[in-house]
Amino acid sequence: MTHAKPLFSWVHATDLHYEQPGKASDCLNSSDPDNKRLNCFINDINRLQGPQKPEFLILSGDITERGSAVKQELIQAKETLSRLQVPFHILAGNHDLGPNREIAAVYPGKEDYHEGPLETSNFFQVFGPEGLRFSFQRHGFHFVGFVLRDADPDGPLDWLQAQVDAIPSRGIVIGHYGLYPARTAGFLLKWGFSRHEKCLPRLQSIINGANGRVIAYLNGHNHVNSVFKNEKTTHISGGCIKGGCTGYRLFECYPDRIATRFIFLSDPTLWNFNCWGQTDPGRCIDDTHPTPEDYHRGTPSEQVFEIPLTPPSPNT
């Protein structure tokens, strides 16, 4: 049976990389000191109407460029996000809460490591505990979000395991970091895992151990749009608002499927399919992405696809 209207819609967006106005970053080739992309995203979301109007957004980290080091940047990002007319759940990424001391030494001022209790970190002080983990249920779908620092000093993996164990079916788990490479060759075969590699085996075990009760795992961090199925979970990298693949992903949930598509920002002059200056075809192609632009924005089948659902058990 085909259902014409979704039960509800929601949006996943990631890697906003808010910058303090006028303070250009040298980290991304796509520096946007006026935050034009973030502002376009907010306007685009506020314009969604009808069945596409999301009940909520999930923003999966790297909310800021330098929030781990500059609390004011997080405060200003929060003020900017207050223009959203849709409720949102937010998580910290490595630019908001540095993952380990090794990375902090390489990127001082951008991924500073917070030595004190998590409760005294910049991100916690600005966004509170709900910015570090969330778990809620909507229309039979269970959403779990978590924030991870390398080697798990804050204990979210025990919490995540308990949350996943409690999901009866139709779980959707969101973190900042991917569980597997987003591409089969090129720089993304290895890039980005140095932020969470100590936690990776357990994280993979938690999601795969759910044996299909986690139907989708969403992440950011690599700034590309990708999708693949591993075990019984669909893994989705959500692109990036800032640069690499400038847009967000809309999910429309039906009783028998999730229909989803990546939506690029409405202003094409803001599109950016070249993150971290990665344009070398030798580093930005793989078997199914023959050009650097394809590598960043994903194939058509990665932009629009469906996740079929089995009927929920009677007690869910």
**Binding interface with Fe ion (CB under 5 A):** 15, 62, 93-94, 221
Kindly tell me which of 6 and 61 has the beta carbon lying closer to Fe ion. 61
- Residue 60 contacts residue 12 (beta carbons within 8 Å): yes
**Distance between CA atoms of 218 and 12, rounded to whole angstroms?**
8
Residue whose C-beta lies closest to Fe ion = 62
Q: Which H or E element spans position 226?
A: strand 225-230
- Report phi then psi at 129, rounded to 5: -65, -25
Shortest reach from residue 117's CB to Fe ion, in Å: 22
Shortest reach from residue 214's CB to Fe ion, in Å: 21
**Distance between CA atoms of 168 and 142, rounded to whole angstroms?**
9
Kindly tell me which of 6 and 181 has the beta carbon lying closer to Fe ion. 181
Shortest reach from residue 195's CB to Fe ion, in Å: 7
Question: 3-state class of 101 per DSSP?
Answer: helix
Task: For residue 219, give the nearest of 94, 86, 309 by alpha carbon.
Answer: 94
Kindly tell me which of 93 and 239 has the beta carbon lying closer to Fe ion. 93
For 58-90, give the DSSP string.
EEES--BSSTTT-HHHHHHHHHHHTT-SS-EEE
Residue 57 corresponds to which tokens in the numbers above?
């957004």
Kindly tell me which of 188 and 307 has the beta carbon lying closer to Fe ion. 188
Shortest reach from residue 16's CB to Fe ion, in Å: 9
Kindly tell me which of 104 and 253 has the beta carbon lying closer to Fe ion. 104
Shortest reach from residue 96's CB to Fe ion, in Å: 9
Kindly tell me which of 133 and 223 has the beta carbon lying closer to Fe ion. 223
Helices 71-81 and 36-47 pack at an angle, to 10 degrees, of: 30
* Burial (Cβ within 10 Å: 0-12, 13-18, ≥19) of residue 86: middle
Shortest reach from residue 196's CB to Fe ion, in Å: 10
